[in-house]
A and B are shown apart, each in its own frame.
Chain A
Amino acid sequence: MKRPAARPVPDLGKPRRAKQPTVAERVLGNGLRVVAVRRAGVPMVHTRLRVPFAARRADHLPKRLVLDATMLHGTAKHDRTGLAVALQEVGGALGVSSDPDRLLVRGESLSNGLPRLLELLAEVVTEASYPKAAVEGEVARLQTRLRQRLAQPAEAAAEALRHRLYPGHPYGRDLPSPEETAAVTAASVRALHRRWVVPEGSLLVLVGDISPARTLDQVERALQGWAGEATAAAPAPATPTGGDLTLVDRPGAVQSNLRLGGPALRRTDDDYAALELANVVFGGYFASRLMRNIREDKGYTYGARSALSHGASASAVVLEVDVATEVTAPALVEIGYELGRMATLPVTAAELQSAASYTAGLLALSTATQAGLAATLETLLADGLDVSWLREHPERLAAVTVDEARAQAHQFLAPARLATVVVGDASRVGDELAALGPVTAASDAG
């Protein structure tokens, strides 16, 4: 095919600044922090209630998963169906999820339904009844769902990496055994709720087509009766280390799931922006070194993704790559090569600029919707930051130097410091992996 003459790529125009959200805030008498933001896009409102959990004991995990599944199964005033009907009437829904650090109750409704949504949210946090039959039903269902999750290679790999990074700490596990799950009773879930679901230290973020001042009053009326005191935070986990590759056998697997992880900086750290950009250059977006190498050059993978993740008491860098069984060891060689380059050689200024623009753009997109802004604010506020971070962080990203990025890559992307987990067919990948370094077999994917 005859190729037309190349045309010039247009320059960027003058950027227009985003309007920063105006935040109204109040701490209620019971200790609940409430943050309301007007974002009128569509006539909806999105809410996120974040309640700190500070799990210490192993049996916290199965109990909180049952609590997630049954918190909306009835209150003193409504049964499960009645509650769901009341929410639907205002175009609304509530959803409950948890991790070792916190319980999250997400809500949404038509904006004119907000008073009703708040009433129902208050009813759930103060009067959830955890009926015995509902808990028993959900315990059985949860066991089925856990079997389904464990059968997913990505879930098995995530669990194996958690265990490698945080052995013995609540961060080290997200999939309880069927036996642990079966032992959860309605009484123990009610006790968990009483102890942990308290206003002190909790945060409620509301974003939508609302008047912030009136919303704060509505929240105060609905939730001032919620009472209870916070429990002290749990101890942080030990810093993860590298070491032998952990091989989890998945007989017959046509792919291997490669996961590498290690410690990372908090968002509040002065060097965070530099680490963030180093990570993006390495594996954080489509144009990353790793994607160019193992996808666009070698065709080993559909996707490779390296990301920073943040718990309340530890942050991690986690790399996820799935590859065909036959290229498992070669892919790991390329990953080690790219990590080694990051750890020992500088990135280019062009790479840094591209990563900074992308990261700032992504932050802007994450706040472009009501639900997205609510989630971003909740995360920032829980980390002790405030809304000014949205304005200031792009400037910090743009100011990162090549040397600063190199220093962070040297510390956090060094292959020797990362833990490696592979889920795959051990009979087909074990020998080649052992040729690269020491391998320890995990007993099973759990």
Chain B
Amino acid sequence: MTWTGYGPGVPASLTVPTTSYDVRRHKLRNGLRVVLAPDRSAPVVAVAVYYDVGIRSEPEGRTGFAHLFEHLMFQGSASLEKMEHVNYVISSGGTFNGSTRLDYTNYYEVLPSNALERALFLESDRMRSPRVTEENLRNQIDVVKEEIRVNILNEPYGGFPWLTLPPVLFDTFPNAHNGYGAFEDLEGATVEDASEFFKRYYAPGNAVLAIGGDIDPDEALALVEKHFGDIPRRTTPPRPDFSEPDLTEERRAEHVDRNAATPAVALGWRVPDPVADLDAYLPFVVLAELLTRGDASRLRSRLVHDDHLASDVSASLGFMEDAFDVRDPTAFVVTAHHAADATSDQVVSAIDDELARLVRDGLTDDELGRVQARTAATLLSRNDFVLGRTLAMASLEQQRQEPGLVGELPARIGAVTAEQVVQAARTLRPDRRARLDLIAGGQR
């Protein structure tokens, strides 16, 4: 990483540094896009493959399939038996994981850099052909059902609000359905479904490969060619338009959580397109921080410390990703957990009150600068880890063809104006929002 100076528009006393990374982009003949980001400060390398298919793309009647398929990608591949992939990563001294989000499914490893070629082989082998058998499919359906039990069915606030708010805010199946999946849909999955899903969505032209850390970019690219270059090109499906019209009046719903001991409420509003209109989207990122991050934030001060209405309050962009790896449509989400002796109406009305005050009086003198400094610092810390940085680059390449944005975001955050933040707050009106009250069924 190199320093290139200080961010624009930031008072001298704060000196939020801007950063940039050496990032190279390539495209193989089969359509695979490659991002190379050398950083030789430690003998560690991160390898990430992002496929441009997520929860929003799974077919009706097959809820949870994108995630189930992620599990199947660990069950053996063209040259490897079940568990061999895992064994090779681990015995090389590395760790691995995969995740399924609204707009992508990713697979990644972080390992000592002498294992780079091995990691590229492992990823290429399953891009070539995963090995899905009836036995492995049934086994992983059981494992996924356990995952759903541990994270959702047996857990207080399980899926709140990331699974429970979207159906209030959205109408269409891609945006509103449960991405973990209904048990009957998971149980109905077949080997043929998996084969079709792989053919359609796991083409090299529908993927991004990012490599960060201790690499020589030319050598790494030669290894990429060696292992991925002969995977045949296939047709890449066009990404559907998932957009929906904005709400025109408040929508409300209730969700009874029999595991929860105390109630909660979540609010969601639609926001500008994060990819097509980043400049209009960034003020919402600053607004989320200004409202709920730290003891100086407005909603935390008011709801938690002054009025004692909430035990916690948080705001985020999106439901399950970070602010910069989701496409349109997405949302500004505020969640508050509260004691049983406060009502959700009291909580929501205090939130409305604070938003109205922000719109009416604007920001205080030093508020914007310090919130920007803190937001930038959080992004810098994420970028300190080669894996965090490489994942971000892969996603930014996939969604924006702009992996270098990873280093520029702190300065872009620093360029947001107070007027833009107020303008963003002005859009968070009751008549545009979805509201979900969580009723605690486990109170005792």
Q: Which A residues fall within an 8 A CB radius of B?
A: 1, 3-4, 6-19, 40-44, 46, 72-73, 80-81, 83-85, 87-93, 108-110, 112, 134, 137, 140-141, 144-145, 147-148, 150-153, 252-255, 285-287, 292, 295-303, 322-324, 353-354, 357-358, 360-362, 364-365, 368-372
Contact = CB atoms under 8 A, between A and B. Distances in A.
Given A137-B305, A364-B44, A324 B149 contact: yes
Contact of B129 (A4, A19, A112, A303): A4
Interface of B: 1, 3, 13-17, 19, 41-44, 78-80, 82-83, 86-88, 90-96, 110-118, 121-122, 125, 128-129, 131, 138-147, 149-150, 153-156, 195, 214, 258-262, 294-297, 301, 304-305, 308, 311-312, 337-339, 366, 369-371, 373-374, 376-377, 380-381, 383-386, 442
A369 B369 CA distance: 26
B19 A295 contact: no
B43 A354 contact: no
Nearest to B129: A4
B206 to A, nearest CB: 19
Contacts of A297: 139
Nearest to B40: A16
B442 A4 contact: no
B195 A1 contact: yes
A42 B377 CA distance: 9
Which of B111, B154, B262 has the largest number of chain A CB atoms within 10 A? B154
A361 B93 contact: yes
Given A296-B82, A303-B150, A365-B110, 17 more contacts: A12-B118, A16-B214, A42-B383, A44-B381, A46-B381, A87-B294, A89-B373, A91-B377, A110-B16, A140-B339, A144-B311, A148-B337, A151-B259, A255-B150, A302-B146, A364-B93, A371-B381
B93 A360 contact: yes
Contacts of B145: 324
Given A91-B377, A108-B377, A253-B154, A287 B92 contact: no
Nearest to A12: B114
Dominant secondary structure of chain A at its interface with chain B: mixed
Contacts of B144: 302
A42 B381 contact: yes
Nearest to B84: A9
Given A110-B377, A112-B15, A147 B93 contact: no
Contact of B308 (A88, A137, A302): A137
B155 A6 contact: no
Contact of B374 (A81, A88, A357): A88
A263 to B, nearest CB: 27
B260 A287 contact: no
Contacts of B140: 299
B146 A301 contact: yes
Nearest to B378: A91
A15 B113 CA distance: 7
A106 to B, nearest CB: 12
Contact of A368 (B122, B339, B381, B385): B385
Contact of B366 (A10, A73, A83, A89): A89
Contact of A85 (B80, B156, B296): B296
7 contacts: A17-B43, A18-B43, A42-B383, A110-B376, A141-B304, A287-B90, A358-B90
Which of A41, A112, A287 has the largest number of chain B CB atoms within 10 A? A41
B373 A91 contact: yes
Contact of A81 (B112, B118, B261, B296): B296
Contact of B149 (A18, A92, A254): A254
A255 B384 contact: no
A148 B374 contact: no
B156 A254 contact: no
Contacts of A110: 15-17, 373, 376-377, 380
B111 to A, nearest CB: 7
Contacts of B80: 9
Contacts of B381: 42, 44, 46, 108, 369-371
A15 B112 contact: yes
B311 A93 contact: no
Given A144-B339, A285-B90, A364-B93, A254 B153 contact: yes
A134 B305 CA distance: 8
B289 to A, nearest CB: 9
B213 to A, nearest CB: 9
Given A152-B155, A302-B146, A287 B87 contact: yes
Contacts of B114: 12-16
